[in-house]
């Protein structure tokens, strides 16, 4: 799942490569294209994008938003969820499997949307308020103060890892970076929010910001303009089951399966009831 660091770097690349370009053709590739596309504007998905100039590329939480210079305004809000990816490719470049949307740009490149499991969504809309899961989003990790972070945590009573991944608490953090942030904060992922002391909440807040800021830089270096990649080798614990903890050398523990795995170091992240073990 692309999370804040990947999406932020993708936004930067689109800002450089796609903004100011005209979409000379837009194609929803069947059978997946019509499934991931949602035309909330009733504008006709492909027809409305054809000829439109890309005015800006923004990120909010786990959404990327392309705005077009059209009258009335038109936005494409992309929520890649677990399996969606974007790709910038030459027009003649072989199409990867599960490519569902192709925007032909006037510089000969294509912006493509790929999605192995059709979990993501592409919303064409006049207003972001109409986009599901968008308007209820909490603040960005870099925009929230420690005070507001504490305040926003209060209503949540469950395990801290689950809380961190709730978009209505803070936007942009998913399963992978929640593991990384908790490792940096030395907090066990299954500690209950109600058990966290004030100093631990502050540690969590600082770890959230430093972990995500570092990750943006690393992703930027490794991804470059290959925005379909998801560089994560540099992570400390997520997907590192059995490897030595970079801080203390203890083999990294694993709980859960598939997309919902949790990795942590049981030495430097003590406590918590370990479910599933």
Q: Which residues are catalytic?
A: 2-3, 62, 260
> Any idea which residue has 């986009």 for tokens?
131
Near Zn ion by CB under 5 A: residue from 43, 82, 268, 274: 268
Nearer to Zn ion, 83 or 267 (CB): 267
**Do the Cβ atoms of 106 and 52 come closer than 8 Å?**
no
**Taking the mean position of all CA atoms in its chain, how far away is CA 140?**
12
HEC string of 181-220 equals HHHHHCCCCCCEHHHCCHHHHHHHHHHHHHHHHHHHHHHH
Residue 267 binds Zn ion, judged by CB under 5 A: yes
Indicate which single residue of 36, 101, 196, 265 sits in contact with Zn ion (rule: CB under 5 A).
Answer: 265
CA atoms within 13 A on the CB side of 197: 5
> Which of residues 62 and 240 has its CB atom nearest to Zn ion in the complex?
240
Single out the segment in contact with Zn ion by CB under 5 A; choices: 33-41, 125-133, 198-206, 260-268. 260-268
Judged by CB, which is closer to Zn ion: 116, or 267? 267
Q: Which is nearer to Zn ion, 42 or 250 (CB)?
A: 250
What is the signed CA dihedral for 39, 40, 41, 45, rounded to 10 degrees?
Answer: -10
**Does residue 116 belong to the site contacting Zn ion (CB under 5 A)?**
no
Which span (112-120, 132-140, 196-204, 264-272) binds Zn ion, by CB under 5 A?
264-272
Query: Could you say which DSSP state residue 142 is in?
Result: T
Residues 67-86 vs Zn ion: string with x where CB under 5 A? --------------------
Strand order in the sheet with 99-105: 23-28, 99-105, 109-115, 84-90
Look up residue 122 and give its DSSP letter.
E
Query: Of 53, 70, 72, 54, nearest to 11 (Cα)?
Result: 54
Q: How far apart are CA 161 and CA 192, in angstroms?
A: 9
Pick 64 or 245: Cβ nearer Zn ion: 245
In angstroms, rounded to a whole number, what is the distance separating the alpha carbons of residues 148 and 124?
33
3-state secondary structure of 180: helix
- CB of 43 or CB of 268, closer to Zn ion: 268
DSSP 130: G
x-marked contacts with Zn ion along 212-251 as a string, rule CB under 5 A = ---------------------------------x-xx-x-
CB of 271 to Zn ion, least distance (A): 14
Number of amino acids touching Zn ion (CB under 5 A): 7
Q: Which residue ranges make up the site for Zn ion (CB under 5 A)?
A: 245, 247-248, 250, 265, 267-268
């Amino acid at each position: 799942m692309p999370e804040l660091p990947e999406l932020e770097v993708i936004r930067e690349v689109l800002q450089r490569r796609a903004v100011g370009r005209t979409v000379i053709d837009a194609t929803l590739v069947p059978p997946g294209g019509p499934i991931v596309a949602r035309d909330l504007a009733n504008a006709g998905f492909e027809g409305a994008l054809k000829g439109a100039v890309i005015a800006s590329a923004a990120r909010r939480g786990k959404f990327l938003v392309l705005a077009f210079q059209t009258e009335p305004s038109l936005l494409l809000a992309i929520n890649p969820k677990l399996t969606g990816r974007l790709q910038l490719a030459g027009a003649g470049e072989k199409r990867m499997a599960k490519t569902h949307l192709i925007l032909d740009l006037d510089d000969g490149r294509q912006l493509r949307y790929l999605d192995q499991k059709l979990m993501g969504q592409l919303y064409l809309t006049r207003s972001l308020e109409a986009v599901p899961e968008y308007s209820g989003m909490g603040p960005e990790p870099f925009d929230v103060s420690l005070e507001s972070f504490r305040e926003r945590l209060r209503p949540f009573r469950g395990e801290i890892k689950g809380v961190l991944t709730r978009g209505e608490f803070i936007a942009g953090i998913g399963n992978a970076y929640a593991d990384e942030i908790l490792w940096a904060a030395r907090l066990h992922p299954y500690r209950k929010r109600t058990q966290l002391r004030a100093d631990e909440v502050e540690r969590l807040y600082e770890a959230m910001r430093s972990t995500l800021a570092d990750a943006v830089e690393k992703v930027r270096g490794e991804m470059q303009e290959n925005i379909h990649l998801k560089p994560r080798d540099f992570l400390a614990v997520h997907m590192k089951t059995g490897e030595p903890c970079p801080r203390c050398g203890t083999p990294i523990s694993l709980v859960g399966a598939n997309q919902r795995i949790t990795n942590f170091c049981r030495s430097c992240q003590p406590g918590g009831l370990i479910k599933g073990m």
